[in-house]
């Protein structure tokens, strides 16, 4: 029920409760708790509010609006069937405090999801608790820390990261209290084994690395890197944000890793953006399993006393708390909605899941070559400089606008803004830092050949624009070029009735 005006004649509230059937006169709110002044909230009617949010949504860009090649962020289409499954009443209406015997179906899904993730990564145990990749990193690093404390190896206070690492890696390890040792990459962007050898010692707790790395390159020396770290007793941590490039082809377990996080919202499917909502489960080898945060789903063979549901007639499923758990990292059972959507996605692919990673890699390589071809046709080859000169990349690739900047004063940011005027979300810019004027492009497996062909053409058309036009871009978006540093440093999140 909504009304256009409140009793005092002010513009109405969006929603009004019906009057109570029984007046409770016995409840008295003391003056201390009564507001002296009404808060300055917007007071608008329901239709006005709906119009406001619809207007906002039309000013926004999303994967449902157009191609979104944001490198490292894996903005892929989320099949709508996952939404239907996540919203089935038997799933969506469960209360986190319901006892095990009422939620055997949900426990079954959690257990299968844990199993599937463990198999994909070559790990022994999984917790679905963390709700973001970065939180998964922190959680796994804490498990590694507890493992060493348990062994009495308290001197292990260093975590090694390559200079191409995602910023969350050093941040997560620093939050857990580790000292960060950064090592330089080789010229082709891959790990420098000599640099690694020179920093490992008995103080090394772990090395954190993503493979393929943030340049989209597979680390061919990864097994040797694992050996080097293991020789001094350290642990190998796999940032699984780029799992969508290798799923079903190889696994972090095979590469020698001890712990991994998965970005369910990137590898599988779950709408994400702006830091969430996501899910960042972690998988570990058996020696780290007792430290995982719970509850995790466990099962045992059914006994006569159990009350099986049709979802499972062989096993009894229950919540379990690992023995030396580092403690809770999230309330209840993690981001259950994300877990269900990703379970639905994986069930749809089944054992063909590796087709997803094959198509993601194929699309990235195809688009990279199409951009090069279009550049040749337009006579702009000089300005398409590979960020990582390699024959084949994995699921994403980097281009350097360094030469364009030198010759014409047009940088990666200008090209990104020009792409907005062409109706595309801009690729990631200025990351990884090792590539000058970097643009990082990740098409994902859900885009068609026609979309990639069109994007390659438009990309080169943007490069051909004169510098003045590009410096002014974007001109077609609801908001023109913003001062991003100012926006990040001077957050204004409070409503005070003033339009800014």
Ligand X SMILES: Cc1ncc(COP(=O)(O)O)c(C=O)c1O
Nearer to ligand X, 133 or 411 (CB): 133
Distance from chain centroid for Cα 144:
22
Nearer to ligand X, 129 or 242 (CB): 242
> Residue 259 CB, nearest distance to ligand X (Å)?
14
Nearer to ligand X, 271 or 278 (CB): 278
Nearer to ligand X, 170 or 418 (CB): 170
> Residue 212 CB, nearest distance to ligand X (Å)?
10
Nearer to ligand X, 259 or 460 (CB): 259
Nearer to ligand X, 280 or 474 (CB): 280
**Total length of the chain:** 500
> Residue 132 CB, nearest distance to ligand X (Å)?
4
Nearer to ligand X, 280 or 418 (CB): 280
> Residue 172 CB, nearest distance to ligand X (Å)?
9
Residue 179 to residue 156: CA distance in whole angstroms? 10
Name the residue with the smallest CB distance to ligand X.
Answer: 133
Residues 14, 45: contact at Cβ < 8 Å? yes
> Residue 71 CB, nearest distance to ligand X (Å)?
9
Residue 63 to residue 190: CA distance in whole angstroms? 31
Binding site for ligand X (CB under 6 A): 72-73, 132-134, 166, 168, 210, 214, 239, 241-242, 263, 278, 280
| Residue labelled with tokens 């000058």 | 436
| Residue labelled with tokens 């050093």 | 170
> Residue 213 CB, nearest distance to ligand X (Å)?
8
Residue 455 to residue 330: CA distance in whole angstroms? 40
> Residue 175 CB, nearest distance to ligand X (Å)?
13
């Amino acid at each position: 029920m909504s009304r256009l005006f409140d009793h005092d004649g002010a513009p109405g509230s969006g929603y009004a409760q019906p009057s109570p059937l029984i007046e409770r006169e016995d409840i008295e709110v003391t003056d201390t708790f009564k507001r002296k002044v009404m808060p300055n909230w917007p007071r608008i009617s329901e239709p006005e509010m709906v119009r406001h949010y619809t207007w906002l949504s039309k000013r926004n860009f999303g994967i449902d609006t157009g191609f979104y090649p944001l490198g490292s962020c894996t903005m892929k289409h989320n099949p709508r069937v996952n939404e239907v499954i996540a919203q089935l009443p038997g799933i969506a209406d469960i209360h986190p405090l319901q006892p095990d015997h009422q939620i055997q179906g949900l426990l079954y899904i959690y257990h299968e999801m844990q199993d599937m993730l463990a198999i994909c990564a070559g790990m022994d145990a999984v917790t679905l608790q963390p709700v973001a990749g970065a939180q998964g990193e922190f959680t796994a690093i804490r498990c590694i820390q507890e493992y060493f404390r348990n062994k009495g190896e308290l001197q292990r206070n260093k975590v090694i990261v390559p200079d191409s690492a995602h910023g969350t890696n050093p941040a997560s390890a620093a939050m857990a209290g580790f000292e960060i040792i950064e090592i330089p990459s080789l010229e082709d962007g891959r790990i420098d084994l000599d640099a690694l050898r020179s920093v490992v010692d008995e103080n090394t707790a772990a090395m954190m690395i993503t493979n393929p790395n943030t340049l989209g390159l597979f680390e061919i020396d990864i097994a040797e890197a694992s050996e080097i770290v293991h020789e001094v007793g350290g642990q190998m941590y796999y940032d699984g944000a780029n799992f969508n490039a290798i799923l079903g082809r190889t696994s972090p377990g095979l590469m020698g890793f001890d712990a991994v996080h998965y970005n369910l919202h990137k590898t599988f499917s779950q709408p994400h953006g702006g830091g969430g909502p996501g899910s960042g489960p972690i998988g570990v080898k058996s020696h780290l399993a007792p430290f995982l945060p719970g509850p995790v789903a466990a099962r045992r063979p059914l006994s006569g006393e159990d009350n099986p549901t049709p979802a499972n007639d062989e096993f009894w499923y229950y919540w379990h708390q690992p023995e030396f758990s580092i403690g809770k990292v999230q309330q209840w059972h993690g981001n259950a909605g994300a877990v269900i959507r990703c379970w639905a996605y994986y069930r749809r692919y089944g054992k063909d899941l590796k087709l997803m990673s094959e198509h993601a890699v194929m699309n990235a390589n195809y688009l990279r070559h199409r951009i090069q071809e279009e550049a040749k046709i337009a006579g702009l080859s000089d300005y398409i400089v590979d960020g990582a000169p390699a024959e084949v990349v994995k699921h994403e690739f980097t281009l350097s606008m360094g030469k364009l900047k030198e010759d014409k004063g047009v940088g990666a940011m200008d090209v990104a803004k020009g792409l907005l005027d062409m109706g595309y979300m801009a690729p990631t810019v200025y990351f990884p830092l090792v590539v000058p004027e970097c643009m990082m492009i990740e098409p994902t497996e859900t885009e068609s050949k026609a979309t990639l062909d069109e994007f390659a053409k438009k990309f080169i058309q943007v490069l051909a624009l004169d510098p003045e036009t590009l410096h002014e871009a974007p001109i077609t978006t609801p908001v023109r070029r913003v001062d991003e540093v100012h926006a990040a440093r001077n957050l204004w999140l409070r409503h005070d009735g003033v339009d800014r």
